[in-house]
Amino acid sequence: MLFNSINFAIFLPIVFTLYWFFTQNNLKLQNLLLLISSYFFYACWDWRFLFLLMFSTFLDFFTGLKISQAKHHKSKNIWFWISISVNLGFLGVFKYYNFFAESFASALNNIGLHVNLWTIKVILPVGISFYTFHGLSYIIDLYKNKIKAENNLINYSVFVSFFPLLVAGPIERATHLLPQIQKKRVFDYSKAVDGLRQILWGLFKKVVIADQCAEVANQVFNNYSDYSGSTLFLGIVFFTFQIYCDFSGYSDIALGTARATFFCVGNNVVQYPEIYQQITDRGHSIGNHTMHHVKGFKTPWKMYVKDVILAQQYIPSSLFRPPYGQLTRYQAKALKQLGYKLIFWDVISYDYLQEPLTDAHANALLQQIRPGSIVLFHDSNKAYLRLQVLLPKVLEYCKIHKYQLNNL
């Protein structure tokens, strides 16, 4: 079942409808539905290899528990290498054995030694590289104590076999994807629309660009002896676009886009409603940042809470970030009783500083970012000069490290 097939066009809306409208209030049912859907998706390629996927999943789930339960480093190493060896062993046999066997036989034939090495006649299991390295990333992160072992087999199985990533990638680290599987998801119309846009853009790159370039590239390379050097070079150019748009298109279909949460000052929303509207229209989350950007340590708690409630008229959100990070115990207690979720941060960009920005400062900022970090920037004239330099660096850093940028 290809992403650009009629079957997938039928499959995805059915799963989407069941997921959001029949299981939306039950996390266990949502994950079970994702698992069943993913296994059905994979079985449509070749149901016989579904058992190999299940075996690989259970192997890494079981060895992961043993690694986390190991009381001695020696036993931890044993279970770690069992997982590594079996996974790479299956991958080597199914994907690379015939290649190396035939290459070795050809090399011996070239020096006069005629051998007939045994090869296996088996279809390559689709997606074996992706789900194998999914499992290995989990085991390696667990071995290095970067994550805790997943005790729920269904949650772990969804992580390995999640159908948008199963057959074409990209490979997601457990530190990134597993926490999203473990927590409750709430339907967001703007995100759903934006996700559809990205799916359509991915389909355009795959069907309109990649597939059309493939016809030209295949024609040239299948008959390379009949064409001139310039035509062969043109074939290389078309092949380059084919490879890029093919993988990029699949990735666009599989992945969402970066999202931010804007904590707005109520007075700014009143003065610049068009900017506030742009933020919400583009799918970003919003949060309350008081009406007049008041300092918590210098404002009586009743007056402070009143200022927050005043901003709520213009910023309908249960998220609240205190200006300057200042919040007294009484203010925090009162806001929590009103149902606000208090948001702070663990990485601050210092984009508001007026001193020249150095590479050392930028690198220090990047080194603080971890999975789950909340990175604080300021959207203001004062912070703009540093913001326009630091924000692209943070986005690129997160892209390289496969960190997905989500709103709160």
Q: What is the DSSP string of 125-136?
A: PTTHHHHHHHHH
Tokens of 318: 């249960």
Give the burial class of 312: count Cβ atoms within 10 A of its Cβ; 0-12 exposed, 13-18 middle, 19 or more buried: middle
- Most confident of the following: 4-18, 113-127, 131-145, 155-169: 131-145
Q: How far apart are CA 197 and CA 199, in angstroms?
A: 5
Q: How far apart are CA 255 and CA 262, in angstroms?
A: 22
Say whether 228 sits in a helix, a strand or coil. coil
Tokens of 22: 């029949």
Q: Which residues contact 113 (CB under 8 A, 6 or more apart)?
A: none
pLDDT value of position 283: 67
Q: Which residues contact 368 (CB under 8 A, 6 or more apart)?
A: 346, 347
Greater confidence, 386 or 115? 386
Measure CA 51 to chain center. Answer: 26
Q: Which residues contact 226 (CB under 8 A, 6 or more apart)?
A: none
Spell out where 186-284 has E strands. Answer: 261-264
Q: Which of 37-51, 190-204, 383-397 has the lowest mean pLDDT?
A: 190-204
Residue 13 preceded by cis peptide, ω within 30? no
pLDDT value of position 115: 53
- Asked if residue 36 lies in contact with residue 30, where contact means CB atoms within 8 angstroms, the answer is no
Say whether 262 sits in a helix, a strand or coil. strand
| pTM for the model | 0.51
Residue with tokens 């970066």: 258
Phi, psi of 265 (to 5 degrees): -80, 130
Tokens of 69: 């339960």
Residue with tokens 């948001």: 343
Tokens of 316: 């309908």
Q: How far apart are CA 121 and CA 94, in angstroms?
A: 10
Please choose, from the candidates 212, 217, 131, 205, the residue with its C-alpha nearest in 3D space to the C-alpha of residue 168.
131
- Most confident of the following: 41-50, 81-90, 277-286, 298-307: 298-307
Please choose, from the candidates 19, 21, 56, 49, the residue with its C-alpha nearest in 3D space to the C-alpha of residue 37.
19
Model confidence pLDDT, tens digit, residues 346-392? 898 888 887 777 778 888 888 888 888 889 988 877 787 788 778 87
